[in-house]
Structure 1
Amino acid sequence: MKKILITVVWALLVGGIGSLFVFSNKKQSNETCRTLKVKIEYQNAETLINESYIVKLITREGIRIKGQPLKHIPIAEIQQLLTKNPYIKKSSVRIGVDCIVNVFVEQRIPLVKVMPAEGVPFYLDTEGAIMPLSPGFPVRVMVASGLIRTRTSVKKEYSAGTHPEPFKMLTPDLQKVYVAASALNKQDFTRALAEQLYINTQGELELIPKIGEQIILLGDTTRLTEKIENLNTFFTRGMDAEG
């Protein structure tokens, strides 16, 4: 008898909580949105986008949020819009219990600015995704130039960021630039030293440092870690000798 009573009590509790949850959701869906809040995680990178950019990205598509019934706000459409943006690595859109639409965005990290042989310049991020330059937000990163061949339309490649491995979507020249820039960026010294990567007529990588007038031939990307370690040692010993 006691066991049956406990079972009945649990059933009533579960049923009551379920009814309360349904009632709460139904009530919230009839509420109107108080405002839109945007939070951006920059991962210690320089700014490419800000809160105003995200709001304009949403509203210029004709999506109204503030003052609209929560049940009419197209959360899935907003999420898809953010996912397609070349500056955004991850995003989520949620409606809070306070009737506020919360947008969380993680910005991509620009690694190198590419000045191709033909076409417009762009950024490669730390995963190999292509991003357009961001008007109003100049970024100080390594530059890559020379005989860098890209596909017919770089703009079509912006969506490569949605690919799980954007590096594999790059042309061979861009893969070469990405690998070299990533390796140089791993160490504080070489990151500070590297001014520009250049692909010469033989398809070899050259490094132009910020100090001195020499051009350092890196060649291809094989044994790149060893080459950079030797470069680090060379400059460090040179500075110690001068000191």
Structure 2
Amino acid sequence: MLNKLKFKRIHKVTLSLLAVFLLIGLAERKHNNKYIQQIVINVEQQYDNFFVDRGDIHKLITNDNTINIIGVSMEDIDLREIEERIKINPFVKSVDVYKDLKGTLIVNVKQRRPIARIIRNTGPDGYVGEFGAILPVSGRFTARVALISGENVDELLKTGLVADDAKTSLLEILQFIDQHPFWKALVAQIEVGKDNELTIYPQVGKQIISFGTPEDYEIKFRNLKIFFKEILPQRGWNHYKRVNIKYNNQIVCE
């Protein structure tokens, strides 16, 4: 008797599972038989960056309008291939492409964010992304970020800021400036000299700031903040021509 009841329960469970799988299969088949009705593109304009817009992404999706997407069966849409086409744009940080049950192809794009701009006289400039990658400049939009100049900027543009310890240290300083509103508003330009010594030119005042090498940069910025908040208000913004903070716990004003 118990075996008979057990058999009935197993039989019911099996039939229930088969019914569920059948419904899923029918739903998937119905979904795949649908056609793409529209494309919805969402570009996240993080930090007010406008290097990429919906038109740019649409051209990448359609391979510059040579590939027709509207009216194509959902089953024939290769989502990964579309994502790879979109990632060709250097300003695209990440992309997520998926389809819904209404026949909509949904594309969500996040942009890379520049934190500095490398300037040079021998060729086009380039942006430094938040993780050290080099991004091209854009005729559409100019990011308000600190400028980087110096003798070795050509090498920085070729390798990015993650090739060795010296470049990584410079990237850490740029990230530090980007994360602190006070320094982001104050630092106008950083010149990279010999032996990776840095010279900072501020947005306000005429002081040239001898920063030294990137080591102990947080201590140096702390000392520099004392100069701007405590010394300059008393002596006047243009009283000093040069400030030297190369050495720990020293502020030498000239």
TM-score (norm 1): 0.84
Partner SS, residue 39 of structure 2: strand
Cα displacement (A) at 1:118: 3.7
Q: Is the 8 A contact 1:49 1:107 kept in 2?
A: yes
> Deviating runs (4+, > 6 A) in structure 1?
none
Offset at residue 23 of structure 1 (A): 1.6
Judge conservation of contact 1:148–1:173 (CA < 8 Å) in 2: no
User: After the TM superposition, which residues 8-27 of structure 1 pair with which residues of structure 2 at under 5 Å, given as runs?
Assistant: 8-27=11-30
Q: Any unmatched runs of 5+ in structure 2? A: 237-254
SS of the counterpart of 1:145? strand
Q: What is the aligned partner in structure 1 of residue 176 from structure 2?
A: 183
Work out which of the residue numbers 71, 74, 82 in structure 1 matches 2:75: 71
What is the CA RMSD across the aligned residues, in angstroms?
2.5
Counterpart check, 1:137 vs 2:141 = yes
**Cα gap change, 1:48 to 1:171, in 2 (>3 Å):** farther
The amino acid of 1:52's aligned partner reads: G
Aligned counterpart for 1:146 among listed residues 139, 143, 150: 150
CA distance in 1, matches of 2:187, 2:27: 57
- Are residues 1:114 and 2:118 paired? yes
Structure 1 residue runs without a partner (length 5+):
158-165
In structure 2, how many angstroms separate the alpha carbons of the residues matched to 1:128 and 1:65? 35
The aligned residue for residue 52 of structure 1 is: 55
Q: Is the Cα–Cα contact under 8 Å of residues 191 and 198 in structure 2 kept in the other structure?
A: yes
Aligned equivalent of 1:160: none
Distance (whole Å) between structure 2 residues aligned to residue 171 and residue 148 of structure 1: 14
Count, aligned residues: 232
Partner of 2:247: none
Give the share of equivalent positions with the same residue, in percent.
25
Residue 240 of structure 1 and its aligned partner are, at CA, apart by 5.2
Q: Which moved more, 1:15-24 or 1:81-90?
A: 81-90
For residue 33 of structure 2, what is the aligned residue in structure 1? Answer: 30
Larger radius of gyration: 2
For each residue in 1:54-79, what CA deviation from the matched residue of structure 2 results, as whole angstroms up to 9, or x when unmatched?
11222235332122221222222111
Determine the C-alpha separation between the residues in 1 that align with 2:104 and 2:12: 36
**Paired AA for residue 66 in structure 1:** I
- 1:99 shift after superposition: 1.2
Contact 1:117–1:145 (CA under 8 A) maintained in structure 2 = no
